[in-house]
Amino acid sequence: MTRLNVSLSDGLPVWPSRNYFHVVHTTMATTSHAIRSGVFEATLAGGSPWVLIFSSAYVLDRRCLSAIGEAYSAVRRLGEYLVDAKPVDYVAILVSNQCRDFHGKERPSLYMDCVRGFYYALRDLHVPVAFIGDHHLGRPEFLKRFRSLVLANAACLGDEQVNAVREYVKDGGGLIATYLTSACYGEGEMRDDFGLRDVFGVRYSGIERGPWSYIKVTREHPVVKGFGVGDLIACGDIDFEFRERASAMALGDNVRLNLVSGGRMAELVKPVEAYGSEYTCGKSAPIPYHETGLPTIVVNDYGEGRSVYFSGQIGRLYWRLGHPYYHTLIANAVEYVAGDPPLRVKGLGEYDVGAFRQEDRLIVHVLNHTSNQKVLSRPMGTSLFSSPGYSSSDTCHAVKYSVPLHDLTLEVGGYGKPEKAYSALTDEEFSIRADKDKYVVRIPKLIDYEVIVVELGI
pTM: 0.94
Query: Does the pLDDT of residue 106 top 90, yes or no?
Result: no
How long a stretch of residues is the chain? 458
DSSP 8-state code for residue 430: E
Taking the domain 90-338, which CATH number applies? 3.40.50.880
**pLDDT for 390:** 57
For residue 58, pLDDT over 90 is answered with: yes
Report DSSP state, residue 287: P
Q: Is 3.90.1150.10 the CATH number for 344-455? A: no
| Average pLDDT of the residues of the chain | 92
CB contact at 8 A, 449 and 364: no
By mean pLDDT, which of 112-121, 226-235, 343-352, 385-394 is the weakest?
385-394
| pLDDT > 80? residue 202 | yes
Structure confidence by residue, pLDDT tens digits, 331-356: 999 999 999 999 999 999 999 999 99
Q: pLDDT tens digits for 287-317?
A: 999 999 999 999 999 999 999 999 999 999 9
Quote the pLDDT of residue 14. Answer: 92
Do residues 298 and 262 make contact, with C-beta atoms less than 8 angstroms apart? Answer: yes
User: Phi then psi for 123, rounded to 5 degrees?
Assistant: -60, -40
pLDDT at 449: 98
What digits encode the pLDDT tens for the residues 145-189? 999 999 999 999 999 999 999 999 999 999 999 999 999 999 999
Q: How confident is the model at residue 396 (pLDDT cuts 50, 70, 90)?
A: confident
Predicted confidence at residue 384, as pLDDT, reads 47
Residue type present at position 18: R
**pLDDT score recorded for residue 374:** 59
Residue 262 pLDDT exceeds 70: yes
pLDDT in tens, 239-252: 766 666 777 889 99
Query: Mean of the pLDDT values across residues 58-86?
Result: 95
Is pLDDT at 378 greater than 60 in this prediction?
no
CA distance 40 to 83: 16
Do the bridges between strand 91-94 and strand 129-132 make them parallel or antiparallel, or are there none, so unpaired?
parallel
